[in-house]
A and B are shown apart, each in its own frame.
Chain A
Amino acid sequence: MLTIANSHTYHAMTKTSHPLSVNTFRGFFRALCAVLLGCLALNAHAEDSVTIDIIGTGADRIPIIIPVFENESSLPHPVSDIVRADLERSGAFQLVDIGPLPLPESRTPDLAAMKARGAHMALAASVRPSSDGGGRYEIRFRLFDVQKPEREADIGGMMLFMPPAQHRLIAHRIADFIYEKILHIPGCFATRIAYVAKIGARYELQIADSDGVNAQPALRSAEPIISPVWSPDGQRLAYVSFEARKPIVYVHVLATGQRQVLANFKGSNSAPAWAPDGSRLAVVLTKDGLSQLYTINANGSGVRRLTASSGIDTEPAWSPDGQWIYFTSDRSGGPQIYRIAANGGNAERITFEGAYNVTPRPSPDGKKLTFITRNEGRFQLAILDLASRQRIILNPEAARDESPSFAPNSNMILYATENGGKGVLETVSVDGGVKQRLSIQAADVREPAWGPLLK
């Protein structure tokens, strides 16, 4: 009951006098009000608490008003807080606060007043119990472009029926609608992430919503689990488990818990990567000596060697068109990133800057590559524009970044880093502008993988 349900507890604020600071402070009290009302109405749900740490701030973010929904306090779980947190985390929006007053969906809001507050966009939203008597709620919302004349300002809306237990899914879908309507790019808030939590001496492969909330264990083991990766249909994970005293690659169906060994050859089996069509995977095997790339059908048949270098080839990742496999190799001495045609051929070197570049992950739109570079002994998240070959270090102050994973819309990267000796997960917008730490219930987490858009 003491947990602030569904509110954002803002910790580290930006160093600049960004208007966000003031708004966030107000937002906190607004959220607190919502919570207190929620507490009066029903029990607060501790598992819904979420903490978002804003570490940096971005330029060119679209100012948007997401008010408390009309009658939102009648809901067992608030929804608008989740929408706000999603939009803010994306790095594409800046929240403009208007205090605890809702903008009812039934009326066109005072656009001039919204504009005067600096907003470009505003949501008007209302909640009421569903008339069908199923214990559900109706959420109606409309999105306004407040810079347009009144008769053109309404740019779209929806009515959703929400069973109370699905408030998070509904909130993520509202945020997805807003994101897509304004940016013309799919939102991916209603997606899931996988990661490995270390809990005492145990390891858990957990699945959570894209904001790190709603964690559920898919696999518990006394031994390490690494390299989880989603199948393109979002139904399965491939990963490496050490439960049999050596690394073995498994494919795991999430809905049933059914697991199948994908690769258990003599030596080590690791680094699974799904082909975009889901029919086969790239894996790293050592059955013929050092770590090399192979492809294998999703049912474990048809293993075929892809690289034949005299060094290490590992960490494969397919380009979204299925044509290329990016990977890490030490064939030139230290580890660098290369790519090879998915059906074999000569490898082409991609990274030249720095002596240690690992974990290449192409963006789903095929335009960028994220990876980890070592910079004076520090491991930092970097992004490379594949056309211009321009490289940006996204986290110039980081020391232990690892395991980057693109959002399915290519606009954010999820990665692991370290804070106070514990593993934490963070997201960063691809321009490096907004970085947030996901508040995951488990205290020590690593190896994140962002799942696909649900079909």
Chain B
Amino acid sequence: MKKLLLPTLLTTVLAACGSDPATTATQVKDNADDSNKIQSVTVQPDKDGRRLSSELNDLSRQGSVYFDYDSFVIRAEARPVINSNARYLSQNRNAKVLIQGNTDERGSHEYNLALGQKRANAVRQALKLLGVRDEQVEAVSLGKEKPRCFEVSESCYAQNRRGDFNYQ
């Protein structure tokens, strides 16, 4: 009798047909697809109802800090935004800010997430040098997941390489 490797879900082995040594009878359990059942879940936006930052906030200190390609250096033009945020945080020691780093769309999701973190960390470091306390700042990355501009062009990519301030 030839031995057959039976797929594991086909569990119930019935009598083999006598005249046909190569045929083995198996039965698919009626509930064989139970392991394939998926319970669907819908998650609601964050409790405060706010979406992820990419949209600009109406406060002037919440402008963005833009970066060159493959760069994590804060450009001189970003100084006013950094300074106004540092001033606000220094004057409001209970205020907390989430800095979200972003990248353009080129490259892997996770490597971009790490590059966006580098940008967020650069902004955090700049605030720290201006006297902002560590516990007031959380630097995170959205990688390439939340682009502000969707075209395939350098000007669009430049808008997506940025850090945003998101007050909680």
- Give the number of chain A interface residues (Cβ < 8 Å): 79
Q: A438 interface residue, CB < 8 Å from B?
A: no
Q: Given A176-B7, A267-B138, answer yes or no on A255-B109 (Cβ-Cβ < 8 Å).
A: no
- A223 near B52 (CB under 8 angstroms)? yes
Q: How far is the CB of B37 from the nearest CB of chain A, in Å?
A: 6
Cα–Cα, bound, A159→B110 (Å): 46
Range of interface residues on chain B?
35 or more
- A291 near B114 (CB under 8 angstroms)? yes
Residues on A facing B (Cβ under 8 Å): 134, 140, 142, 154-163, 165-166, 169-170, 173, 176-177, 180, 190, 192, 207, 216-224, 226-227, 234-235, 240-247, 252, 254-259, 266-268, 270-271, 284, 286, 289-291, 312, 314-315, 328, 335, 356, 358-359, 372, 374, 379, 402-403, 446-447, 454-455
- A402 near B17 (CB under 8 angstroms)? no
Contacts A190-B9, A243-B43 known; 20 new A-B pairs at CB < 8 A: A155-B22, A156-B2, A158-B24, A159-B26, A216-B40, A226-B110, A234-B35, A247-B113, A257-B40, A267-B139, A268-B113, A284-B113, A286-B141, A291-B113, A314-B111, A335-B111, A358-B110, A403-B108, A403-B109, A454-B35
Cα–Cα, bound, A266→B100 (Å): 13
- B39 near A221 (CB under 8 angstroms)? no
Stretch at the interface among B57-65, B79-87, B115-123, B153-161: B115-123
Which residue of A222, A256, A328 is within 8 Å of B45 (Cβ)?
A222
Closest B residue to A176 using CB positions: B7
Which residue of B4, B35, B36, B107 is within 8 Å of A358 (Cβ)?
B107
- Max chain A CB contacts within 10 Å: which of B34, B41, B110, B145? B110
Cα–Cα, bound, A166→B35 (Å): 13
Cα–Cα, bound, A9→B141 (Å): 42
Cα–Cα, bound, A241→B45 (Å): 11
Cα–Cα, bound, A42→B17 (Å): 32
Chain A residues near B28 (CB, 8 Å)?
160-163, 166, 169-170, 173
Chain A residues near B46 (CB, 8 Å)?
243-245
Q: Given A158-B23, A271-B110, A315-B108, answer yes or no on A192-B2 (Cβ-Cβ < 8 Å).
A: no
- B22 near A245 (CB under 8 angstroms)? no
Closest A residue to B50 using CB positions: A245
Chain A residues near B92 (CB, 8 Å)?
none
Within 8 A of A (CB), among B6-61: 7-10, 14, 17, 20, 22-28, 30, 32-46, 50-53
Can you report 19 residue pairs joining A to B where beta carbons are below 8 Å apart?
A: A154-B22, A156-B22, A159-B26, A162-B28, A190-B7, A207-B38, A218-B40, A222-B45, A226-B109, A234-B35, A245-B46, A257-B39, A268-B113, A286-B139, A356-B107, A359-B108, A359-B111, A403-B108, A447-B109
Chain B residues near A219 (CB, 8 Å)?
40-43
- A290 near B117 (CB under 8 angstroms)? yes
- A312 near B111 (CB under 8 angstroms)? yes
Cα–Cα, bound, A253→B46 (Å): 22
- A160 near B26 (CB under 8 angstroms)? yes
- B107 near A379 (CB under 8 angstroms)? yes
- A157 near B20 (CB under 8 angstroms)? yes
- A284 near B38 (CB under 8 angstroms)? no
Q: B90 interface residue, CB < 8 Å from A?
A: no
Q: How far is the CB of B98 from the nearest CB of chain A, in Å?
A: 6
Q: B5 interface residue, CB < 8 Å from A?
A: yes
Which residue of B30, B40, B140 is within 8 Å of A247 (Cβ)?
B140
Q: B89 interface residue, CB < 8 Å from A?
A: no
Chain B residues near A290 (CB, 8 Å)?
114, 117-118, 121
Chain B residues near A234 (CB, 8 Å)?
35
Chain A residues near B98 (CB, 8 Å)?
245-246
Q: How far is the CB of B109 from the nearest CB of chain A, in Å?
A: 5
Q: Given A166-B33, A268-B117, answer yes or no on A402-B138 (Cβ-Cβ < 8 Å).
A: no
Chain B residues near A134 (CB, 8 Å)?
30
Q: How far is the CB of A152 from the nearest CB of chain B, in Å?
A: 11
Closest B residue to A270 using CB positions: B113
- B146 near A221 (CB under 8 angstroms)? no
Closest B residue to A144 using CB positions: B22
Chain B residues near A259 (CB, 8 Å)?
41
- A241 near B35 (CB under 8 angstroms)? no
Cα–Cα, bound, A170→B27 (Å): 10
Which residue of B17, B32, B107, B114 is within 8 Å of A169 (Cβ)?
B32
Chain B residues near A224 (CB, 8 Å)?
142, 145-146
Closest A residue to B4 using CB positions: A156
Which residue of B22, B27, B44, B50 is within 8 Å of A157 (Cβ)?
B22
